[in-house]
Amino acid sequence: MLLKYFWVSCLCACPVLLSAQDYFQEKPVRLEEVRITSSRLRDYAVGASVLEPDSSLVKLHQSESLSSLLSAASGVNLKTYGAGGLSSVSLRGGMTDHTAVLWNGLNIKSPMNGGINFSVLPVSLFGNVKIQYGGSATLFGSGAMSGVVHLDGNDLPGQPASADISATMGSFGFGAMSGSLKTGTKKFGSRTALYLQTADNDFPYKNTSRIGHPEEIQTNAGMNQLGGLQENQWRINDHSLLTSAVWFQYYDKDLQTLMTSRQQGETNQTDKNLAVSLNYKYYAASGHLTLKQGLLRNKVVYSDPAMADPQSDNNSLSWINEAEYKLRLGELHSILAGVNYTYESAESDGYRGSVFRNRLAAFVSGRLGMSGGEGALVLSLRDEMTDGQIHPVVFSFGAEHGFLNAFRIKGNISRNYRIPNLNDLYWKEDGFSAGNPALEPESGWSGDAGIVYSYKGESFSTGVSVTGFASSTKDIIVWLPENGGKWTPRNKKNGDTRGIEANFNFSAIANKSRLSGRVFYTYTSSVLTSSDEYDEKQMIYIPKHQMSSNMEFSRNSFYSILACRFTGERYYDYSKTLDAYFIMDASVGYRFSLAGLDADISVKILNLTDRQYQVVAWYAMPPRNYKFTLNITI
Amino acid sequence: MKRFISEHSGNLIWGFDALRIFGLALFLALFSGCEDNNDTKVHDPGNFADGIFVLNEGAWGASNSSVSFIPADKDTVFADLFITANGEDAVLGDVLMDMVSVDTLSYLVLNSSHSVMVVNNKNFEYVDEITGEVNNPRHAIVYNGLIYLTQWGKFGQEGAVLVIDPFDFSVVATIATGQGAHGIKEIDGKIWVANSGGYGYANTVSIINPESNSVERTIEVGDCPQNFVVDYEGNVWVLSSGYTEYDDQWQVINQTEPYLTCIDGETYKVSKNFQISSYTSPTEITISKDKKNIYFGGGSGGAKLWKVSVDNDELPSGTFSDLSPYGISVHPETGNLYCGMAPDFTKPGSVIVLDNEGNEVKEYNENIGIGPRRFIYVSQ
């Protein structure tokens, strides 16, 4: 039976295809669309790989964090400190601070440490998650050296009013509730979403740090989270659009006891985040103007009763302003130019008083359509100035072209940079560490080239793509002890990364049945050049081999999902490695009508084979666990 | 008679049956000694009868501490004795700070694991792990057949010495001393403990009467005392690293000077007190073979090395060596100074051996682990 679907399998979203249909033709006025980032991503990421986690994966991780969703997504390497713990993303063998994270077009990474914790970002909040791989993301600014994770909402005006509520219960004290209310008219749309989540994470695990690997119960790993998002989109007139969003959240996490500690940990971290964005778009006959404003406020309090000063209070504020104009030149070509001013300030126990900096950037992109829309070339330039210091101009050049109606070749080359974060520069000098105000930005080159085959029929589609990538980064900032043992950051190492991504996906529909799936494999060789034991060795926590796959089968109101991921062996110091692991997650669900309302009930089994594994050394990960979700939509 | 000797005093701490060692040596000579071709690690645990155990702290949180062994008669260093004996997936623990032995067992003090790992000292095979009341342990000695272990305890708790039965692994007494109990030494039938301040501040040395397991005397010294040596006249020298005080904003509001304090071993009176302000928070102290010269410096603050005669009335102005070792120790037979070098905590360190003039005699680069700090000597 299944073979029937396989042989007719065909393409859906290959990495590049997501936005492909729009690369080659300029649409006059796109007032229907209200999302802010999508235009730049769609029109100017020519030649780059952009992938959206499959809907089956989003469904599987709907009540969880982006950390769990992205760990199952293609080619994404997550470094996760235990269940619900700090989780950061690296792409294509880059470091975790080489991937930017944009929410409604605003870079929401902390100016203090250049990081963001994906465990605090709930999947239910973002209607659109996209991963842009490689250095083509340089147009989005500092830190986007190996890619960007884009988080956006959905278009609201003209959508029917609706309300949905979802409740999930699971193993080890997991409980989550979320609800959203969408109202509006053709000209105005509003959505309010709230969510709550709690977990004890008191799961059993085999303590591999002890002889005989005895089973123990995880301690001090619970968490509580609540938050909300309120967004409005208003078409003021035929030419103007105004959008706003306010997002707040509170995350209270006990930091998981390391399995090597025979005493229960007592550390805790609370994150309070507030993000506000306000955007205005004006559509003229020959293009459109976008004005963006964003305010990000983060407070992280780390407490450890075992420290002399048991609390460490870290506060940061970013105020982002951006203006860009896109000028259409006929049906195939366009130019986009803009400026960005960002003010960043931070106050921390780690600094002497508060610190701040002003960042000014200008960027321009030109797109040349070819062969009547069959192909396109894009050249982007960006220059940034920090507190009066001008950084070198960076650029990205991308090209792609279709042939034989089913194939497309694409490629991209870029020069990238990352300015030091505030901790690198301004960490106060004490007995053990000192920031280094003289640090230079990291800079490098990256490039990729690939070929995509796609076929789309009436009831089936398939896609195959292969991409090779390489990058070279110099002056990588590392903290090392020197000058009397103090840890100080220096522009010390150079990194070289090479790899291959291969994707196969298919989707088939027959009668009331649908089968779709994807397999994605990444080979990454990522080495540091340095004068010590790490020289020419694979970078720590970067696996050489990584594979993810997912498959969804649905028939009538029934659906089932199976997602697998394999992560190869990784170094965690100069000689020791963590074992490779293969994890399977599965879900079955049923949609039905309940008192006239649409209901969806599902059971998820995560870590189906009950695999014991570690993502970061000595942080136990949950064994097989279950989740039951009921979702009702009005 | 084979003896294990503690690094600081050179006193004989314990010993055991030479026949067992001979047997082990024969066994090892016959059945091991193969070299892994993939790297330079030598997996032969070697002959522990004559040589030096190097305790490598490892990086905090990574649980990659290890024990290396430098045999007296070979140039090869044996790496990772615990893994060699217990398998590639065996884990010694997090931040190894000390090791003592009783009879056929060795006890490894693991600070961040909050445990004491017990191994068979013939072959380093795992025997047991002492946990429970062990919390933030630092150093240990063996006296009168019992293990005396200093520990900081949890924040808010007073530092303490746990008295542990070496055979049933139970804690037979807990002696509260002072904040951040750290260095420990048996001197003339009493047990001296340096209260280093731990998470905060302290400036005392506690002297424990082991008969009653109680503190019978507390002596005020410099701020944050670390450890002791005893000179040829029986005087006790205490190194205090000084205290740095921060305000709410972590601004340094007060920084006190390090001191080298001499205490008369009989009257317990302070007879000399050297302020060592320009020596940047040294934490390591050891004494020459003839017990007439003190070496101090090093530690996590990156201080250089100084040498001072116990008969001097002032400190020298010049350094003994510009190395900034993480740990130092004098070889009880050769009198050479062993320096554990920890360039950082992400890669292996090395051991540099200096003669008593400060000239480099030897360097061991291979098979030393991350953060070498303590040396335990084993004689024939």
Identify which of A211, A305, A430 has the shortest CB distance to residue B86.
A211
Task: Give the SS3 label for residue A18.
Answer: helix
Q: Is the pLDDT of residue A15 over 50?
A: no
Question: Residue A241 and residue A187: Cα distance in Å, rounded?
Answer: 9
Q: Which residue blocks in A358-505 are alpha helix, DSSP H?
A: 422-426
Find the closest chain A residue to B111 by CA distance: A261
Give CA torsion, residues B366, B372, B374, B379, to 10 deg.
Answer: 0
- A576 at B interface, C-beta within 8 A: yes
Tens of pLDDT, residues A141-152:
777 888 899 998
Output phi, psi for B312, to 5 deg: -75, 155
Tens of pLDDT, residues A454-474:
999 989 999 999 999 999 988
Does ipTM come in above 0.90?
no
Task: Please tell me the distance in Å from A209's CA to the nearest CA on chain B.
Answer: 5
Question: Do A260 and B94 count as a contact with CB atoms less than 8 A apart?
Answer: yes
- A536 at B interface, C-beta within 8 A: no
Tens of pLDDT, residues A302-360:
888 766 666 788 899 999 999 999 998 988 899 999 999 999 998 887 777 788 899 99
Which pLDDT score is estimated for A478?
78
Question: Residue B117 and residue B91: Cα distance in Å, rounded?
Answer: 10
Task: Please tell me the distance in Å from A573's CA to the nearest CA on chain B.
Answer: 6
- A490 at B interface, C-beta within 8 A: no
Question: Do B302 and A305 count as a contact with CB atoms less than 8 A apart?
Answer: no
SS (H, E, C) chain B: CEEEECCCCCCEEEEECHHHHHHHHHHHHHHCCCECCCCCCECCCCCCCCEEEEEECCCCCCCCCEEEEEECCCCCCECCHHHHHHCCCCCCCCCEEEEEEECCEEEEEECCCCEEEEEECCCCEEEEEECCCCCCEEEEEEECCEEEEEECCCCCCCCEEEEECCCCCCEEEEEECCCCEEEEEEECCEEEEEECCCCCCCCEEEEEECCCCEEEEEEECCCCEEEEEECCCCCEEEEECCCEEECCCCCEEEECCCEEEEECCCCCCEEEEEECHHHCCCCEEEECCCCCEEEEEECCCCEEEEEEECCCCCCCCCCCECCCCCEEEECCCCCCEEEEECCCCCCCCEEEEECCCCCEEEEECCCCCCCEEEEEEECC
Find the closest chain A residue to B38 by CA distance: A575
- A485 at B interface, C-beta within 8 A: yes
- A430 at B interface, C-beta within 8 A: yes
Question: Do A483 and B345 count as a contact with CB atoms less than 8 A apart?
Answer: no
Strands A99-103, A147-152: parallel, antiparallel or unpaired by DSSP? Answer: parallel
Local confidence band at A23 (pLDDT 50, 70, 90 cut-offs): very low
Question: Do B347 and A574 count as a contact with CB atoms less than 8 A apart?
Answer: yes
Structure tokens that stand for A375 in this block: 């192909």
- B247 at A interface, C-beta within 8 A: no
Chain A CB contacts of B347 below 8 Å? 532-534, 573-574
Question: Do B61 and A618 count as a contact with CB atoms less than 8 A apart?
Answer: yes
Question: Do B154 and A211 count as a contact with CB atoms less than 8 A apart?
Answer: no
Chain B CB contacts of A488 below 8 Å? none
Local confidence band at A33 (pLDDT 50, 70, 90 cut-offs): low
Chain B CB contacts of A620 below 8 Å? none
Chain B CB contacts of A263 below 8 Å? 114, 131, 135, 154
Question: Residue A483 and residue A478: Cα distance in Å, rounded?
Answer: 15
Question: Do A481 and B199 count as a contact with CB atoms less than 8 A apart?
Answer: no
- B126 at A interface, C-beta within 8 A: yes
Task: Please tell me the distance in Å from B348's CA to the nearest CA on chain A.
Answer: 8
Which pLDDT score is estimated for B228?
93
Beta carbons of A323 and A118 less than 8 angstroms apart: no
Q: What residues contact residue B374 under an 8 Å CB cut-off, 6+ apart?
A: B7, B54, B55, B96, B97, B98, B99, B327, B329, B340
Per-residue pLDDT of chain B (380 residues; tens, 9 = 90+): 334 443 333 333 333 334 333 333 333 333 333 333 333 333 344 457 788 999 999 988 889 999 999 988 877 899 999 999 999 889 999 999 999 999 889 999 999 999 999 999 888 999 999 999 999 999 999 999 999 999 998 877 789 999 999 999 999 999 999 999 999 999 999 999 999 988 778 999 999 999 999 999 999 999 999 999 999 999 999 999 888 776 655 556 777 888 999 999 889 999 999 988 655 778 899 999 999 999 998 887 778 899 999 999 888 888 899 998 999 999 999 999 999 998 878 788 999 999 999 999 999 999 999 999 999 998 76
Identify which of A262, A350, A484 has the shortest CB distance to residue B113.
A262
Which pLDDT score is estimated for B122?
84
Chain A CB contacts of B90 below 8 Å? 211
Interface test with B, best of A427, A535, A573 (most B CBs within 10 A): A573
Interface test with B, best of A219, A261, A537, A570 (most B CBs within 10 A): A261
Q: What is the rounded average pLDDT of the residues A240-247?
A: 93
pTM: 0.85
Which pLDDT score is estimated for A270?
92
- A210 at B interface, C-beta within 8 A: yes
Find the closest chain B residue to A266 by CA distance: B154
Task: Please tell me the distance in Å from A208's CA to the nearest CA on chain B.
Answer: 8
Identify which of B62, B112, B200 has the shortest CB distance to residue A617.
B62
Q: Residue window 159-198, chain B: list those with CB within 8 Å of chain A.
A: none
Chain B CB contacts of A481 below 8 Å? 302, 343-345
Q: What is the rounded average pLDDT of the residues A384-396?
A: 90
Interface test with B, best of A219, A260, A351, A354 (most B CBs within 10 A): A260
Which pLDDT score is estimated for B314?
86
Identify which of A211, A308, A576 has the shortest CB distance to residue B200.
A308
